């Protein structure tokens, strides 16, 4: 496997030299590309000696003083033979250029020309890292599928302590392996994902709903599409944009979501129920706005259909993933729901935990699989949680196929 290692201009550039060695230990061939800034910190000769390859420094060969065709198209050739592009350390500048598609040197041009997975390990001053501009660029890249290895907290070269230190070598190497693994293992699968809240009308201007933002379901839809699946996203009302390449069906109430799911699920091999469906709706909807008077009032509620359970009852070969939002006895309740609803995987979270649940960008979940495996994950972004869910889906799928084959 060939990795192109982009080194950009920061004090941590010297750590990239050790990284070359570490990647070689895992049998990667490493082609180093240095930006002009990186060369202020470390010489190309160091990397040439370590990698055993000529280091690429510029779009047009500087030494000859004039552009030649070979160097002008080299970024395309390197792009074609790269299995993964890793940038470590990545400056705020390179994050901004990648996010915006600016291609003014070899590395930025290579980024646009390559279709390989991209892993980026930022390192910079804490304020630069926390700046809204940098954070927006990082989010944009993440949404596009770039794997970000978050910087560590610690003492920084600029003399302050905070987040900004290049992540440890092992974290970077683990991210490289993960990015290579996750490529297109859902190609050929049709995946249905439900997401967001539902709204249950009380009268023409009022409704019952919940705090779901839809972020978790949208992250799953996006990750599944990126891994090659055809994704149908049945979404309650959210302010989110449909991920690229995903077919979105907009619904409002639990009833509408149920109808859309029943219509679409027959053609799907995997169904993931991330929506926070209202469990109850007003038994009668008033056609007119309810008028105020000074007496107490009550609304009578009736249960909505349990969409997951109704699909899972006759699931056949279809793999079913449910979510369990809990406030107590998380493991016990999640395992109970897994069995009661006939699901294959339950994603359980304690919605009262810090950094988890509604409207957060992060989540803390445990995955409970029907084969008895539990996987407790630390706090991580919802996109990362989505990847772990899909890893489990792929694992369960391959074990059930193996079991099916040996039974035939």
Active site residues: 158
CB of 200 to ligand CTP, least distance (A): 11
User: Which one of 119, 324, 365, 367 is in contact with ligand CTP (CB under 6 A)?
Assistant: 324
CB of 340 to ligand CTP, least distance (A): 8
Residue 279 sits in the site that holds ligand CTP (CB under 6 A): yes
Residue number with CB closer to ligand CTP (78 or 195): 195
Question: CB of 80 within 8 A of CB of 115?
Answer: no
* 90 beta partners: 122
3-state secondary structure of 8: coil
Residue 307 sits in the site that holds ligand CTP (CB under 6 A): yes
Report residue 23: phi and psi, to 5°: -70, -35
Residue 217 sits in the site that holds ligand CTP (CB under 6 A): no
CB of 195 to ligand CTP, least distance (A): 9
Residue number with CB closer to ligand CTP (10 or 197): 197
For residue 85, which of 53, 109, 110 has the smallest C-alpha distance? Answer: 110
DSSP 38: G
Residue number with CB closer to ligand CTP (49 or 266): 266
Residue number with CB closer to ligand CTP (233 or 325): 325
Residue 236 sits in the site that holds ligand CTP (CB under 6 A): no
Question: CB of 264 within 8 A of CB of 317?
Answer: no
Q: Around 298, how many Cα atoms within 13 Å sit in the side-chain half-sphere?
A: 2
* 285 beta partners: none
Cα–Cα distance list, 41 to 14, 36, 45, 85 (Å): 8, 10, 12, 21
3-state secondary structure of 388: helix
Instruction: Give yes or no for a cis peptide into 290 (omega within 30° of 0).
Output: no
Residue 117 sits in the site that holds ligand CTP (CB under 6 A): no
CB of 305 to ligand CTP, least distance (A): 6
User: Which one of 273, 344, 382, 385 is in contact with ligand CTP (CB under 6 A)?
Assistant: 273
Residue 338 sits in the site that holds ligand CTP (CB under 6 A): no
- Edge-to-edge strand list for the sheet holding 29-34: 29-34, 2-7, 84-90, 118-122, 147-148
Residue 254 sits in the site that holds ligand CTP (CB under 6 A): yes
Q: Around 191, how many Cα atoms within 13 Å sit in the side-chain half-sphere?
A: 33
Q: Which range touches ligand CTP (CB under 6 A), out of 16-24, 86-94, 270-278, 391-399?
A: 270-278
Residue 219 sits in the site that holds ligand CTP (CB under 6 A): no
- For residue 101 the two structure tokens come to 């598609």
Residue number with CB closer to ligand CTP (243 or 322): 322
Question: CB of 208 within 8 A of CB of 279?
Answer: no
Residues 6 or more apart whose Cβ sits within 8 Å of residue 75? 59, 106, 109, 110, 113
Residue 323 sits in the site that holds ligand CTP (CB under 6 A): yes
Residue 304 sits in the site that holds ligand CTP (CB under 6 A): yes
- For residue 362 the two structure tokens come to 């992060």
Residue 319 sits in the site that holds ligand CTP (CB under 6 A): no
Residue 322 sits in the site that holds ligand CTP (CB under 6 A): yes
Q: Which range touches ligand CTP (CB under 6 A), out of 17-25, 32-40, 72-80, 320-328?
A: 320-328
Number of shown-chain residues binding ligand CTP (CB under 6 A): 16
Q: Which range touches ligand CTP (CB under 6 A), out of 202-210, 229-237, 275-283, 400-408?
A: 275-283
Question: CB of 3 within 8 A of CB of 31?
Answer: yes
Residues that bind ligand CTP (CB under 6 A): 194, 254, 273, 275, 277, 279, 304-308, 322-325, 337
């Amino acid at each position: 496997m060939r990795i192109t290692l982009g080194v950009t201009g920061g004090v941590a550039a010297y750590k990239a030299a050790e990284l070359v060695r570490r990647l070689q230990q895992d049998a990667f061939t490493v082609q180093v590309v240095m930006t002009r800034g990186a060369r202020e910190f470390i010489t190309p000769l160091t990397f040439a000696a370590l990698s055993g390859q000529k280091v690429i420094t510029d779009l047009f060969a500087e030494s000859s003083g004039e552009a030649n065709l070979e160097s002008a198209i080299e970024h395309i050739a390197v792009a074609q033979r790269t299995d993964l592009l890793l940038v470590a350390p990545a400056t705020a500048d390179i994050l901004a250029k990648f996010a915006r598609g600016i291609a003014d040197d070899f590395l930025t041009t290579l980024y646009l020309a390559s279709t390989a997975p991209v892993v980026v390990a930022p390192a910079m001053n804490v304020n630069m890292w926390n700046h809204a501009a940098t954070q927006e660029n990082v989010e944009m890249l993440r949404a596009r599928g770039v794997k970000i290895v978050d910087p560590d907290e610690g003492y920084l070269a600029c003399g302050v302590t905070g987040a900004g230190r290049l992540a440890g070598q092992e974290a970077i190497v683990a991210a490289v392996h993960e990015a290579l693994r996750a490529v297109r293992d859902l190609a050929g699968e049709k995946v249905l994902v439900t997401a967001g809240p539902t709204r249950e009308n009380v009268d023409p201007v009022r409704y019952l709903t919940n705090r779901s933002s839809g972020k978790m379901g949208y992250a799953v839809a996006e990750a599944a599409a990126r891994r090659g699946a055809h994704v149908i996203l049945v979404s309650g009302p959210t302010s989110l944009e449909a991920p690229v390449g995903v077919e979105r069906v907009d619904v409002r109430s639990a009833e509408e979501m149920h109808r859309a799911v029943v219509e679409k699920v027959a053609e799907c091999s995997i169904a993931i129920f991330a929506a926070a469906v209202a469990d109850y709706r007003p038994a009668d909807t008033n056609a007119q706005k309810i008028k105020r008077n000074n007496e107490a009032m009550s609304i009578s509620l009736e249960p909505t259909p349990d969409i997951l359970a109704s699909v899972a009852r006759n699931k056949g070969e279809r793999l079913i993933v449910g979510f369990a939002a809990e406030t107590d006895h998380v493991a016990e309740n999640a395992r109970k729901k897994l069995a009661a609803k006939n699901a294959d995987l339950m994603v359980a979270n304690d919605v009262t935990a810090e950094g988890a649940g509604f409207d957060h960008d992060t989540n803390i979940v445990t995955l409970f699989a029907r084969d008895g495996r539990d996987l407790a994950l630390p706090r991580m972004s919802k996109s990362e949680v989505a990847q772990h869910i899909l890893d489990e889906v792929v694992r369960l799928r391959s074990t059930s196929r193996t079991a099916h084959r040996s039974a035939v």
